[in-house]
Amino acid sequence: MSAVDIAFAVVVGLSVFWGLWRGITRELIATISWVIIGVLVYRYAGPLGSLVPLSAPPVVRIALAGAVILVIGIFAAALAGRGLRSVVAASDLAGTDRMLGAVFGALRGALLSLLVTGLVVETGFAGARPWRASASGPALERVWQWISHDVAMHRGGVAMVNSKRN
């Protein structure tokens, strides 16, 4: 087992443990919340930044407004997560919630590993000796190539597909 394999195993293992500890309800609330917070920051940081009463450059005011939206969003998500978690804890679904959280964690860990693989492939580090010596690197690379080729075909182009690939 190479260092690359160990790194991928640690990422997936920690993600499974994190999901098992938190449960599916908190994991889903967190994931959905981050998406919503990201959209809110993207959409409203500019307009709210112009309302900030500072004589700072616009980029500073926009960053400050984005940070405020982020903090409020995280606080609201934490409250929602705690409320839903208490409902699940009061029911007989706590064990199921944790097991589904572990499954979610495994999927998240696999996705993170695949994204790292994409970075390795697209930056040209896939030919490095540690990557080639691993068992998981080349296997994930084949999955990445399949996915990036499929995405490019559905988009009607060749985005993310090098000319070397089939």
Query: pLDDT tens, position by position, for the chain (166 residues)?
Result: 899 999 999 999 999 999 999 999 999 999 999 999 999 999 999 999 999 888 889 899 999 999 999 999 999 999 998 888 888 888 888 899 999 999 999 999 999 999 999 999 989 899 999 999 999 999 999 999 998 877 777 766 554 444 444 4
First to last CA, the chain: 29
27's tokens? 């994991």
Taking CA 55 as the corner, what is the angle to CA 51 and CA 57, rounded to the nearest 5 degrees?
85
Non-local (6+) Cβ contacts of 112 within 8 A are 11, 15
Q: Model-level pTM greater than 0.75?
A: no
Instruction: Say how far apart CA 27 and CA 104 lie, in whole Å.
Output: 8
142's tokens? 């084949």
Cβ-contact 106, 117 below 8 angstroms: no
Non-local (6+) Cβ contacts of 70 within 8 A are 37, 41
134's tokens? 């691993």
- Quick one: pLDDT at residue 86? 87
159 backbone dihedrals φ, ψ, rounded to 5°: -60, 135
Strands (E), the chain: none
